[in-house]
């Protein structure tokens, strides 16, 4: 198993509420800081069109809800029923992980790459700790991969 080096993040229901209300999930900034420390490459893999995503990221970065680098994050272009990690340019499938709240978007052959997160949904409780939990899961995956080297 190659150590994970590419982290693909869903947007709606994972990092924020949705593209309309754009509530940042509790712990978002800390999660992204953690991710940037441990993954050389972080991409956004979302069903929301890039021309809608960019202004959302600009606002979140302006408010300090996400690190400044998020405003320039690579957004994966894709089409189809599922988020095929093969759509990420130059990424090695076995070292790529996807954090997504919707199982239906996960490619059936790529379930091992999926880190599930509970949907961030109404009433958007500020007691939500899913991003903290997922950071711990990612840490575990990274350590597990290193232990096998």
> Can you give the binding site for Mg ion, defined by CB under 5 A?
10, 12-14, 101-102
Least separation, in Å, of the C-beta of 102 and Mg ion? 5
Cβ-closest residue to Mg ion? Answer: 13
Beta carbon nearer to Mg ion, 6 or 14: 14
Place of tokens 């202004």: 55
Q: Provide the angle, in degrees to the nearest 10, between the axes of the packed helices 28-38 and 130-147.
A: 10
Q: Residue 130 region, left (φ>0) first, then alpha (ψ -120 to 50), else beta?
A: alpha
Least separation, in Å, of the C-beta of 38 and Mg ion? 22
Beta carbon nearer to Mg ion, 13 or 67: 13
- Two structure tokens written together for 91: 């990424």
Beta carbon nearer to Mg ion, 3 or 13: 13
Beta carbon nearer to Mg ion, 1 or 49: 49
Smallest CA-to-CA distance from 88 within 41, 19, 136, 23 is with 41
CA–CA separation, 74 vs 7, rounded Å? 11
- Two structure tokens written together for 129: 């700790």
Least separation, in Å, of the C-beta of 17 and Mg ion? 10
Least separation, in Å, of the C-beta of 135 and Mg ion? 18
């Amino acid at each position: 198993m190659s150590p994970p080096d590419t982290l693909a993040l869903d947007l709606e229901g994972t990092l924020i509420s949705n593209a309309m209300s754009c509530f940042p999930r509790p712990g978002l900034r800390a999660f992204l800081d953690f991710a940037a420390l441990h993954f050389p490459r972080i991409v956004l893999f979302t069903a929301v069109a890039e021309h809608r995503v960019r202004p959302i990221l600009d606002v979140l970065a302006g408010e300090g809800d996400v690190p400044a680098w998020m405003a320039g994050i690579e957004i994966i272009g894709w089409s189809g029923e599922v988020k095929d990690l093969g759509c990420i340019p130059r990424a090695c499938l076995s070292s790529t992980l996807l954090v997504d709240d919707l199982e239906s978007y996960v490619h059936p052959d790529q379930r091992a790459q999926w880190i599930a997160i509970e949907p961030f949904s109404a009433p958007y409780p500020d007691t939500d700790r899913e991003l903290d939990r997922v950071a711990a899961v990612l840490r575990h995956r990274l350590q597990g991969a290193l232990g096998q080297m």
